[in-house]
Every structure is written in C-alpha cells, then in structure tokens.
Amino acid sequence: MPVGNARRHPSLVRQRLSGPPGHDDVRNKELSQMQKQPATQAHLLTAGLAFGESPRWHNGRLWVCNWGTGEIIAVDADGNREIVLTVPAVLPYSIDWLPDGRLLVISGRDGLLLRQEADGRLVTHADLRSLSKSPWNEIVVDGRGNIYVNGGGPAPAPGEHFGPGTIVLVTPDGAVRQVAENIAFANGMAVTPDNKTLIVAESHANRLTAFDIAADGTLSNRHVWADLDGYPDGICLDADGAIWYADVPNKHCVRVSEGGEVLQTVVVDRGCFACMLGGTDRKTLFILAAEWRGFEHMVSDARTGQVLSVDAPAPGVGWP
C-alpha cells in the first residue's frame, strides 16, 4: 500500500520521523551507496492495470491484486494475463496460500480473511474486526501455516490516514491474536526459509524491522533490520539474505543487505508499490508500478498500472 502524502511532503515526513542520533548518518551513507550503484533498467511485461498490489509467484505465474477492480489476475512469462477471481473488495485486498493450496484473500475494509474452497466459493477463514477498525493491508503465510496480517491503526489526527499499525497471527487451528503493535505504517512482509524471522516494512519510519518467530508463531525480539533512505512498500527476500523493497515516492526498487547496504537499484518512471521474485528459477524480479496521485485518486480511469521485470542476481526464498 502506498505511503500517503510522503511524495508531496517528504521533508515533513522525514522531520516528523527523525530517528535516534546517528540515524541521519546511516541514511546519508545509504544514499551515497545508492548513487554509486549503476541503475538497472526494467522491461515492461504488461500494462493497463488499475493499481497492482500484493504480487505472488504461484504455479508458474505471477498473481496480482488489481486494486479498484476486485480482480485477482495471473500473468505468464510472456505478459499474457487472465482474471482468475473477482473478490467482493475494492481496496485494499491481498493474497497468499495455505500449505494445502487453498487461496486466502484479506478483504481489508471488511476486516475479514477469506478462503477459497474447491468449488470456488469464498468463505470466512477468520474475522479480524474485533482487533482493529482500520483497514487490513498485507498478508504472508509461513511454511508452518501461520498466517500474519498487518494493517494501520486509527488515524492519529484529521487529515492523517494511518496511525500505529499492528500485526495479527491466525494459527492453523484458527486462533487469532495480536503479536505486534506500534508499526509505523505496516506494509510488505517476508518470512525467512527457516520460519524463524519475520521482516516487515515500516513505511513511515523508513526502515525494515525484524522479529523472531517462536514455535507457536508469536513474535519477539523486535529489532531494526535496516534503516533506509526511502519509503519501503512491498518487499521480498532472496537466497543471499538480501531484501528487495519497492519505493513509491522515489520511483525505484532497491536491493539491500541486513544493515542497509545498497546492493542494486532498479529505476522506473512511476511509483513502485510492490515486488516479487519469481520465474522458473525465481531469479526474475517482478515490479508493480503505477502513477501515484494521492489517496484520493488511487484508482482512476488512467489505468497507469504496470508489471515490469528484470533479471535478479539471486533467487527468491522464504515466504511469500
């Protein structure tokens, strides 16, 4: 999900969210590293989307939530796309799969986690309405079947869109509980291949934050994975232990190592909202991009949404 007014007022956002002593030095170092890295150019795979979000590589195709239309589409390696499902949601909604292959859809404004049955019906998998009145945003299912869903808290003041966010856990037995709070605009999430670490993008804090995952799925030992010179939105993890993050106001996707060293940058001509590693060897980075015109105009008739692709140095691992 985009980071609101950051593109229009980046200086205000940075001032409000300034970090501890030395934080600016970290950002300046990352910016210097980014400027030294050659920018990688992406290739257009398909265009004309309303607003693509929550990309997932599944069964040989890239699945995308086309916000504003209620569509979930699948795109093949040649850019051919198919509407595989229409859901009762406009935005936000995001997807992932249970270990048994059933599709999950988080209907953000309804506060419901939906599950697709074999006959195509969508049924309620979990009701999240008692945990937050604000929209839910992203979802990731780990290798043990634990489902993590995040979202923003109540608006802190008139004109603000989101307050401190939360992460909730839905266990395989259906229990639902909050496992993290005070997330500064919770966005993309990734779980490491060993199921031991969850990483979340805190868009309004300009950082990636990590948690240890306990045997029962609860989160602890919150710590900064990387301070960033940007606004991380969607993220994905690769086999080298690096993370790709999409950045809307800076119009690029950046690959960083733990600690924040910039390894690679892919520059595009519009906001980058999400990214996913896929392809036959999972070494293709797919980028969802669109022109950002503010929350009031997230979905318009312009249909500026695109799916872009670029070769990546390391394959995707973990979840999603």
Successive 10-residue mean pLDDT values, the chain, 320 residues: 46 31 50 58 94 96 96 96 92 95 96 96 96 93 98 60 84 97 96 99 97 98 98 98 98 98 97 98 98 68 91 98
Pairing of strands 71-75, 81-86: antiparallel
List, in order of start, the domains of the chain with CATH numbers.
Answer: 4-311 (2.120.10.30)
Distances from the Cα of 26 to the Cαs of 34, 39, 175, 207, in angstroms? 12, 21, 40, 11
pTM of the model: 0.87
Instruction: Give Cβ neighbours of residue 34 (< 8 Å, ≥ 6 apart).
Output: 229, 254, 262, 265
At 52, list the tokens. Answer: 């693509």
The single-letter code of the amino acid at 291 is E
For residue 152, the model assigns a pLDDT of: 75
For residue 163, the model assigns a pLDDT of: 64
Decide if 295 contacts 285 (C-beta within 8 A): no
For residue 72, the model assigns a pLDDT of: 98
Distances from the Cα of 308 to the Cαs of 41, 86, 148, in angstroms? 10, 23, 27
Q: Any idea how long the chain is?
A: 320
Pairing of strands 52-58, 43-49: unpaired
Decide if 108 contacts 151 (C-beta within 8 A): yes
CA angle 316, 73, 286 (to 5 degrees): 30
Name the maximum alpha-carbon separation found in the chain.
Answer: 56
For residue 303, the model assigns a pLDDT of: 87
Buried b (16+ CB within 10 A) or exposed e, 206-242: bbbbbbebeeebbbeeeebbbbbbbbbbbbbbbbeeb
Can you name the residues that pair with 253 across neighbouring β-strands?
246, 266
For 295, what's the count of Cα atoms within 13 Å in the CB-facing half-sphere? 12
For residue 164, the model assigns a pLDDT of: 81
For residue 89, the model assigns a pLDDT of: 80
